[in-house]
Copies of this chain bind each other. A is one copy, B any other.
Amino acid sequence: MSRRSSSSREVLLGLLTIEPMTGYDLGQLIRTSVGHFWRESYGQIYPNLKTLAADGLVTAKTEHQKGKPDRRVYSITDKGREQLGKWLAVEPQPEIPRNELLLKLFFAARVSPEIPIGYLERMVEKERALLRQFRQAEREIAGNRQYPDAPYWRMTARFGQLELEAHLHWAQETLAELRSLAEKEKTGERKGKHHAGK
């Protein structure tokens, strides 16, 4: 048990409190449930399940199937649940994620405004579609009263929605500004072309 900062093992523990699952199931579920703020690759999931088992936080049993490969079904142990509780009590440290879009925009004066306009337009497209299915999903979860996890799941979904809305708002505002910038460049082409081609 060395010092580990990341939470790759804890997602697995957390999802195993819902029901026993295989590594493959966990991969699927991660994509569909927490996928908009947390990803794991199988190259991470399988080895982590092994170390979790070695530490006694989960147990595994193999189920044979005909026609399909064997399943290694993992269950969380009491020790695992305890560990999860401890992890939950530790205040999450806010980190600043890298944003390549903003980085390119920051240096965009070196190229034609058409370039950032291009990728903002495509971004708006994608985000609009995403927002639609987000709102759809929210309506579906909204029905789930009774289940004790439901309110928390709704909160995380709501976060995604609000953030998306903010991004969209910004993108549209920014597009308008970029277009007027492009306009000015075309009309006032007298001197100061500061950016190099290509």
| Interface residue ranges, A against B (CB under 8 Å) | 7, 10-11, 14, 17, 33-39, 81-82, 84-89, 91-111, 115-116, 118-119, 122-123, 126, 148-149, 151-153, 155-156, 158-159, 162-163, 165-167, 169-170, 173-174, 177, 181, 192, 194-198
Contacts and interface: CB of A to CB of B under 8 A. Distances in A.
Interface of A is mostly: helix
A183 B12 CA distance: 30
A162 B151 contact: no
B156 A98 contact: no
Contact of A155 (B35, B39, B105): B105
Copies of this chain, complex-wide, total 2
Contact of A156 (B85, B91, B106): B106
Nearest to A174: B155
A9 to B, nearest CB: 12
Given A38-B98, A158-B170, 8 more contacts: A14-B106, A85-B110, A88-B115, A89-B115, A91-B118, A94-B123, A97-B97, A159-B174
A38 B108 contact: no
Contacts of A122: 91
B100 A85 contact: no
A158 to B, nearest CB: 6
A7 B173 CA distance: 26
Contact of A39 (B87, B96, B101, B158): B96
Contact of A89 (B102, B111, B148): B111
Contact of A85 (B33, B95, B197): B197
Nearest to A116: B152
A110 B88 contact: yes
Q: Which of A103, A115, A197 has the most C-beta atoms of chain B within 10 angstroms of its own C-beta?
A: A103
